Each structure stands twice: as structure tokens, then as C-alpha cells.
Amino acid sequence: MTSSENMAARQPRVGLFATCLVDLFRPSVGFASAKLLQDAGCEVHVPVAQTCCGQPAYNTGDRADTREIAEQVIEAFEGFDFVVAPSGSCASMLKKHYPGLFAGDAAWEERAERFSQKCHELISFLTDVMMVRDTGASLDAKITYHDSCSGLRELGIKEQPRKLLAKVSGLELQEMKDSDVCCGFGGTFCIKYSDISNAIVTKKVGNIDASGADMLLAGDVGCLMNMAGKLKRQGSSVEVRHIAEVLAGMTSQPPIAGSGK
């Protein structure tokens, strides 16, 4: 049997890279991701040897630590058919940035290259690889969607979430102005340049409010925590959730920000 026949004969084995923020702050996104993957016909595994994708080190210029973390992630996940993360930013780190960390080390470079082929962001994995057209969820809400930068510009994720959201019964998408403009999170940026980050997220939150939506969705918990934190500080009632929660029909957990205050 060839490997593709082998794959067709059984469920694809997916390693769920939860991401550190989902792991620490928002486990519901992890469970929603697992449900979406299982519903799509995947066998989901959550390796315990995962911590973080390494972006804090990578974007601070610390190549040595980044590489060590990357090796650890590759070792823990390369045995799966696919590696899926509910974050465009972390998925892009695994997919687009890992191979470059090993430049000059042919063996590891090739290994990282092979690994990167298996890596996907959750929503685009569902639509583009598992050919999911409808997750069967329903939610009465007027939502607006923020395009997180790495997912949008490094992985080309724009239509995929909107296609799936369009199938959620009762849900209405109300596009905000500049949905593709950064929210000001930027990982450590929002701590290092707190005031500038604040100016950027203030503009973003203004656009969210002006959209008239009562729920904000996005595909990255980092951006969501930033926008949620600002919305909450401003006393807004807009609910904030990861798109996976809505697509999986798992909205019983109080939102990251919003009505539950």
C-alpha cells in the first residue's frame, strides 16, 4: 500500500499544536479545535511535549533558543500526518519560519522542510485540506471578523473563515473597516511599545464598535486578548471569541470579553 492509500484507508492523524496562549488562557479553543478536526474525520492527538512555537525568542533575535524550541516541536510532532494550530501566527512560525532556522545544517534543514509541509492553520486546514464546507453550527449573532496579520499575509487566509462562517445558521457577518489592519498586538511589541500598541488597538476597537456587530471573531488568541482587553477597558459589550468556538458550536464558556462582565 502506498502512503496515500494508507492515509485514505484510515483517519489522518493530526497533532494539535494548541499554542501557548490557548493552553494557558483559553482551553476552550483547544477543545473546539479538537472537535472541528474530529468532525472533519481526523484522529486528534495532543502531544505533551509542547510549550510554545518559539516566536518570543525568534522576534527578539534569539536564534539559539528559537532553534532549540523548534527542534523540540519538530521532534514531538513530525510523526503525525498533519500538524494543526488554531493560530495563523504560530502555524506560520512552524510552516514558514522553521526551515530558515536551520540554514547551513542540511540534515535538520531537510527535516524542518518536510515538517513544514505538514503544518497548517486550523481553519484553512479544515477548508483546504479536509474540504469542510459546513461545520453544522448555528448561532444567533451579528459578528465581525478580524484578519490576523500572519494568517492573512503569510498564509493567505482571508476567504476560508468567511466561507465557513457563512454556513453558520443565524449568524450575520458585518465587516468592519480595515479588518486587515494590525490590531497592535505584535507579541512582545505590545509590552515593549505599550503606548503605540494602545494607539493601534484603540483605532481597531473603534472600527469594531462602528461595525455594529455584537461579537468579534478572529483566528488568533493573541490578537483576541489584545482587542478583548481594550474593549473591556472601554466598557464595550462586544463579545470576543475565537472563530473555532463558534464553528464548533461550543459557546457555553463565557467569552474572552463581553456580556459576561
Residues that bind other proteins (CB under 8 A): 18, 22-31, 34, 46, 48-52, 54, 56-63, 65, 68-69, 72, 76, 149-150, 153-154, 181-182, 184-201, 203, 225-226, 228-230, 232-233, 253-254, 256-257, 260-261
* Ramachandran angles phi, psi of 176, nearest 5°: -90, 160
State how far the alpha carbon of 45 is from the alpha carbons of 15, 22, 83, 187, in Å: 5, 16, 10, 27
How far, in Å, CA of 136 to CA of 245, rounded?
13
What residue type is assigned to position 145 of the chain? Y
Contacts with 173 (C-beta within 8 Å, 6 or more apart), sequence order: 143, 144, 145, 162, 165, 166
Q: How far is the CB of 239 from other proteins (least distance, A)?
A: 12
State how far the alpha carbon of 207 is from the alpha carbons of 67, 195, 217, in Å: 38, 19, 13
Question: Which of residues 213 and 221 has its CB atom nearest to other proteins in the complex?
Answer: 221
Residue in the structure block whose three cell numbers are 459589550: 237
How far, in Å, CA of 62 to CA of 65, rounded?
6
Question: Which of residues 141 and 149 has its CB atom nearest to other proteins in the complex?
Answer: 149
Q: How far is the CB of 200 from other proteins (least distance, A)?
A: 5
Contacts with 16 (C-beta within 8 Å, 6 or more apart), sequence order: 30, 33, 34, 37, 44, 45, 46, 84, 85
Question: Which of residues 133 and 192 has its CB atom nearest to other proteins in the complex?
Answer: 192
Question: Which of residues 161 and 258 has its CB atom nearest to other proteins in the complex?
Answer: 258
Q: How far is the CB of 28 from other proteins (least distance, A)?
A: 6
Question: Which of residues 72 and 251 has its CB atom nearest to other proteins in the complex?
Answer: 72
How far, in Å, CA of 69 to CA of 140, rounded?
41
Question: Which of residues 5 and 195 has its CB atom nearest to other proteins in the complex?
Answer: 195
Three-class DSSP category at 172: strand
Q: How far is the CB of 225 from other proteins (least distance, A)?
A: 5
Q: How far is the CB of 163 from other proteins (least distance, A)?
A: 22
Q: How far is the CB of 86 from other proteins (least distance, A)?
A: 10
